[in-house]
Chains A and B, each alone.
Chain A
Amino acid sequence: MRGLYITFTPQYIRPIVITYEPETEAFLNAISISNDSTTYFGSTAYEILGSEIWTALDGCVVQIKTALGLTLGVNNLSTKFKYIYPRIGGTSTKHAYNLVTATATGTFSGGWTHDGSGATPNGTNAYMNTGYTYTASNFTVNNNTFGAVIKDNSEGAYCEFGVSNFGYTDIFFFPRFSGNLFLTRLNDQTNNSTSNSTSLGHFAVSRTASTSYKQYKDGTALATITQNSTPFNIANGLIYEACTNNNGSPLFYSPHKRTWLWGGLGFNDTEISDIHSALATFETALNR
């Protein structure tokens, strides 16, 4: 019987070379996640191979860059973001690393629990200093967005991030304040809120205009807040996570487990929806 023979000539076989976004490579190398079959978080619900983390994070970065019109293959997340803390790796050291810079710009204080599911503050004295001040050197009034992925559900005066001082331009971010309110301030000095009955999810606030800003949950705009912005005036006010930095002192500690924390330029509805989709896909890949 005559068969079909296929002859391979080696010089025509090109090896498949997988390239990663420069931020992916720099970040995962910085936190020592190897791109191989090394098992992380073994015997837990979050058990995963290093190569799987590489694939998931790079897919996420590509998705984000594509959504924001950034050129792939170029280190350019910094043109849109100041910080992105993915909380990969399960230790305080790894969770302090910023995907944008591949350096540990975050600093934890107080009682945190770090593992494969993310980072959990104790709600009593735990917070993270993002390393970035809420000033014109880092952000632009009327053009900034902040977001967080929260993994616990409880109601209360739990601030997920902020910097504040009475009479000054603040950021406040309570996904589920007392009374089931998504309560925020963004470049202003007034509390505004929208009904929200769960603190679980990906929450964001984005200001792209001087007269209003938007609150988002899981990529969908919950509300447009009509509130004029005020100029930055908190001198050297560092943005804290899991509380607000109230005139130099942490206030409204949150006990909620969290994974992603990010801050950058002002994004529109489509961009925030796409960012959410990217993060959600990543969280699913890591079983978080």
Chain B
Amino acid sequence: MKIAPLTIEQYRSLYRQTYDEASFFNPTSAPDGSYFISEQEINGYNGEQFAWIKDLPLVDYSTELPDVTPPTLTGYGILIPTEAETLNLFPNNKFNLGGYEINLTPTSQGLAVDLGYLNWQGFRDEQDKPFNATIKASFSALWYELLSRYQNNEIIQL
């Protein structure tokens, strides 16, 4: 069956709203933590207020839980920018997104992230889920800075 993943804002806008004369939307969370409505609700809606739901991408509903097994670490990494506002994002030198935990490495030059984490596809897929859109946006500047340092071969041994 097909479902349409939602951001938290979309979830809240549909909550307790009707999609036909006698039926309410029921935005629900899937086992992987994402929010969604069903294809039946989208097809049953013919109004204007929530017409945007017709453009939502549909995916197969899955009950599989994400695999948060950490990646194999390389022993090499990229230094995290030392600006105070950046370091505040990593209390206890960790970052956890839906169970995907990244452990930063303290070095004499500052905190660094292992290349294994940067190539962690499961983490990047989790970032791309609609309900993590706000978090992804908050970290995009840092991500591009790290990507730039990697491309400039600013790699250190951890």
Contacts and interface: CB of A to CB of B under 8 A. Distances in A.
A111 B39 contact: yes
B37 interface: yes
Nearest to B61: A124
Contacts of A127: 26
Interface in A98-122: 104, 106-113, 122
Contact of A93 (B22, B25, B37): B22
B22 A110 contact: no
A96 interface: yes
Contact of A92 (B23, B27, B36): B23
A93 B44 CA distance: 12
B26 A109 contact: yes
Main secondary structure on chain B at its contact with chain A?
mixed
Contacts of B27: 125
Contact of B26 (A96, A106, A110): A110
B25 A109 contact: yes
Report the contact-size class of chain A (Cβ under 8 Å from the partner): 20 to 34
Interface residues of B, number: 19
B41 interface: yes
A108 B22 CA distance: 6
A48 to B, nearest CB: 22
Interface in A240-258: 250
Contacts of B25: 109-110
A110 B28 contact: yes
Given A110-B38, A110-B41, A112-B40, A125 B26 contact: yes
A126 interface: yes
Nearest to B20: A92
A243 to B, nearest CB: 10
B1 interface: yes
Nearest to B36: A125
A263 interface: no
B54 to A, nearest CB: 15
A125 B44 CA distance: 14
A124 B23 contact: no
A104 B22 contact: yes
Q: Determine which residue in A92, A107, A111, A124 has the highest number of CB atoms from chain B within 10 A of its CB, and name it.
A: A111
B37 A125 contact: yes
A125 B20 contact: no
A92 B23 CA distance: 7
B3 interface: yes
B28 to A, nearest CB: 4
A162 interface: no
B24 to A, nearest CB: 4
A109 B24 contact: yes
Interface in A192-211: none
Contacts of B55: none
Nearest to A125: B28
Interface in B41-75: 41, 44, 61
18 contacts: A92-B22, A92-B44, A93-B22, A104-B22, A106-B22, A107-B22, A107-B23, A108-B22, A108-B24, A109-B24, A110-B28, A111-B40, A111-B44, A112-B44, A122-B38, A125-B27, A125-B36, A126-B26
